[in-house]
Amino acid sequence: MIRLENVSLTYNQANTSVQALQNVSLEIVTGSRLAIIGPSGCGKSSLLFLMAGLYRPTSGEIYISGQKITGPRQETALILQDYGLFPWKTVWQNACLGLEIRGVAPSEQRKIVAPILEQLGLGEFTHHYPTQLSGGQRQRVAIARALALQPDLLLMDEPLSSLDALTRENLQDFLLDIWQRHRFTLVLVTHSIDEAAYLGDYIAVMSDRPGRIVSLVENAGSGSKNFRQSQHFHTQCNNLRHMLGVGAV
């Protein structure tokens, strides 16, 4: 699905050249779930934006479904940390926004979006505004907007970081349910070791800046809702902590 070949990224900040990523090579299997973890400032989000076609690599190449990426593609959806919802638009308007931008007729928008909002438990909130919703509900609106575009690749940048622990775990389960139904390829950037171990069937561990992938960990057993209670989950979390230089528990 995704292939990165020796991708590097350098940008200018306050008249200083900053190398964010260095020689990143990676292959992501179609329909898999990849979690990306690493120290703060290591280039995780930059890597995600490169996959989205929003950034251009300084060197190296990125391919999705065999096509070289030179800009955004219609089949890729991106969910940002702050959800990217417009506060002056209702749940319905936010969920339809991508389709509206593409020029999809309102009648067709309704056919696509209405069942998605019902599926996500938002059917009775269509006329609400983001400020009237909980954090978990706002996240679901962002997911609805992404699913309306019928993506084959869903990119998520710290999507659950601002939520309380219980809501976060519930939405992790919810993401697995959505993935089971739609089987898109999922790439998730997270600071949470537990979240990476729970959601990723592959986990890319990155180094300090300039970011490199120091290990790609296969995570057999993830994707089931009882995985958190398994010994393998706790062992995997401790392994990841050691890789990141964090004390194991």
Contact of 5 with 26, CB cutoff 8 Å = no
CA distance 64 to 77: 13
Strand extents, DSSP E, the chain: 2-13, 16-28, 33-37, 59-64, 67-68, 76-79, 153-157, 185-189, 202-206, 213-218
Contact of 122 with 140, CB cutoff 8 Å = yes
If you ran DSSP here, which 8-state letter would residue 106 be given? H
Helix (H, G, I), strand (E, B) or coil at 33: strand
CA distance 169 to 139: 13
Domains of the chain: 1-75+188-249 (3.40.50.300)
* pLDDT by residue, tens only, the chain of 249 residues: 899 999 999 988 778 888 999 999 999 999 999 999 999 889 999 999 999 999 999 999 999 999 999 999 989 999 887 778 899 999 999 999 999 998 999 999 999 999 889 888 899 999 999 999 988 888 889 889 988 988 999 999 987 776 778 878 888 888 888 888 888 999 999 989 999 999 999 999 999 989 999 999 999 888 887 888 888 899 999 999 989 876 444
pTM of the model: 0.88
